[in-house]
Amino acid sequence: MTAPVFVVEQVPGGPGFVLEGPEGRHAVSVKRLRAGEDVVLTDGRGHWTEGTVLAAEGKDRLVVTDLTGIREEPLPAPRITVVQALPKGDRGEVAVETMTETGVDAIVPWQAARCITQWKGDRGLKSLAKWRNTAREAGKQSRRVRFPDVADAMTTKQVAALLATADFAAVLHEDRGHDSEPLATVPLPDRGEIVLVVGPEGGVSPDELALFADAGARTCRLGASVLRTSTAGTAATALLLGRTGRWS
């Protein structure tokens, strides 16, 4: 089994380190790590180091030794961003969690025209914080050392501007009669930025589709079945990771 991952503000260069606070408590009281077990310390921004547990002290102090030095994971190529329309209930966190576990690089919350959920005021800030915390925890769980960025929520015009800068941009659309292309066969870049738009349960509106098309986005479909908004981004990310060679 791969070593568990813990987040630190700055990755230590060695030779030893004491993991304290919530992460130390999780390591000692939840994971129950003991002397001789391996751990990974990361800042979640691509920097990481490996070490061995020397001792567990109290309920929230893990003494780590034999650190291997600071390493850096190369930037992904191509980089995959999913623009996720706001789902109802906890489906947003489900989408963030599974996309993070799969390997997405960035997530953009989108207030689409047909979204029932509205991120306004304190509710919006709390929801965004939940998405970011979910990405962090899912990144740890899936043993990542570069966690996905979760951007501030965007309007439709802001999403269109993002699509215009991408090397490949697509809107996932389930309607075969909408001149959609199979995402499984559409040409993809070897590097640069890929941006996918996942609409709400009610679908992407005609005005939004037109605006995104003007920004250079293609209309693509995943397959014959229609996925929920909380699962479409994960399925599309997996497909792209396989097609671009990032999973090879």
DSSP label at 178? Answer: G
- Average pLDDT of the chain to the nearest whole number: 95
Distance between CA atoms of residues 168 and 179, nearest Å: 17
Span 91-128, pLDDT tens digits:
999 999 999 999 999 999 999 999 999 999 999 999 99
Query: pLDDT value at position 98?
Result: 98
- Spatial contact of 18 and 53, defined as CB atoms under 8 Å apart: no
Burial of 138 (0-12, 13-18, 19+ CB in 10 A): buried
134, amino acid identity: T
The pLDDT, as a whole number, for residue 225 is 85
pLDDT in tens, 145-162: 999 999 999 999 999 999
Q: Give me the helices (H) in the chain, please.
A: 21-25, 91-102, 121-141, 156-165, 206-214, 229-243
- Sign of the CA dihedral with 148 first, then 153, 159, and 164 last: negative
Asked if 87 contacts 230 with a C-beta cutoff of 8 angstroms, the reply is yes
Mean pLDDT value across residues 212-230: 93
Mean pLDDT lowest among 76-80, 83-87, 164-168, 202-206: 202-206
Retrieve residue 65's tokens: 């030794």
List pLDDT tens digits, range 30-82.
999 999 999 999 999 999 999 999 999 999 999 999 999 999 999 999 999 99
Please give the structure tokens belonging to residue 118.
């509205």
User: Is the CB of residue 39 less than 8 Å from the CB of residue 64?
Assistant: yes
If one counts every other C-beta atom within 10 angstroms of the C-beta of residue 196, the result is 27
Q: Which of 112, 107, 99 is nearest to 203 (CA)?
A: 112
Q: How many Å apart are CA 172 and CA 229, to the nearest integer?
A: 10
Cβ distance 84 to 233 under 8 Å?
Answer: yes
Domains in the chain, CATH or no CATH each? 5-72 (2.40.240.20), 79-243 (3.40.1280.10)
Quote the CA–CA distance of 97 and 230 in Å, as a whole number.
10
DSSP string, 37-94: -EEEEE-SBSEEEEEEEEEEETTTEEEEE-----EEPPPPSSEEEEEEE--STTHHHH
Q: What is the mean pLDDT of residues 224-246?
A: 94
At a CB cut-off of 8 Å and minimum separation 6, what does 6 contact? 19, 23, 26, 27, 39, 40, 41, 42, 62, 140
